[in-house]
Amino acid sequence: MNAITITGHRGAMAHAPENTAPSLALAHEHGADEIELDIRLSSDGVPVVIHDGTMKRVTSGRREDEVVGLTWDELRAIELDGGARLLRFEQVLEQTTLPLQVELKADGAAEVVADVLNARTQDQDRCTLTSFQRDYLIKVGEVMPWARRGFIVFGYEDEALAQAVELGVQTLYTGWEGLTVEMVARIHDRGLRAAGWLLDEPARARVAVELGVDGVTADDPQAARAWLEQAAEESAA
């Protein structure tokens, strides 16, 4: 069995505030092969690493501001749960050398990320641009024709694979629903990588090994690796 790539979901969010410097550092320390993060834009066009459109969840309700409604200076002054602060995309590129799965969450994010990576050509090869939104991926193809791209879906359907092929992406990131050995083979037959999310328990690791996926996304990369190694041993026995 080929090694399954383990992607730290928003870093190592099982152990540190998601999408923050401590979470990224732990993902690296805990053996993640790459890190997934999310990009939204501040009101002054800075690419901010945050999943939600508001500050509510990451501050336990202390702030309910919309990310797009605040400047970067205002956003970085907000203390998140655990005492961490928001990062801008450039800070992530400086903090970690791991490959990055960069999920675009906002209109205009593709163009801003392109500006960053066009100025940092040394980081281009380690970034895969991903989204649930097909129009975002089309825009990535226009402004970053060199970039690897990935289409994210909640569960496997043949239509999702057809859309991924039409988009010309390299990876289909799919939830486990509807995913079978035959469907993974179909993804591979079309020349794409198949990645499953999330891997959050040992049973999911057994499924990942059985299906033959190329990668998984996990909140706890260290636990995911242990589960996958155990599942591989059981499969080979």
Instruction: Let me know: does 7 contact 215? Beta carbons within 8 Å.
Output: yes
Peptide bond into 117 cis (omega under 30): no
Environment class of residue 1 by beta-carbon count within 10 Å: exposed (0-12), middle (13-18) or buried (19+)? exposed
**Tens-binned pLDDT, residue by residue, of the chain (237 aa):** 579 999 999 999 999 999 999 999 999 999 999 999 999 999 999 999 999 999 999 999 999 999 999 999 999 999 999 999 999 999 999 999 999 999 999 999 999 999 999 999 999 999 999 999 999 999 999 999 999 999 999 999 999 999 999 999 999 999 999 999 999 999 999 999 999 999 999 999 999 999 999 999 999 999 999 999 999 999 998
Environment class of residue 187 by beta-carbon count within 10 Å: exposed (0-12), middle (13-18) or buried (19+)? buried
| pLDDT attached to residue 152 | 99
- Which of 101, 95, 130, 113 lies closest to 35 in space, CA to CA? 101
| pLDDT attached to residue 237 | 86
| pLDDT attached to residue 58 | 97
- Which of 66, 85, 69 lies closest to 77 in space, CA to CA? 85
Give pTM, 2 decimals: 0.96
List, in order of start, the domains of the chain with CATH numbers.
5-236 (3.20.20.190)
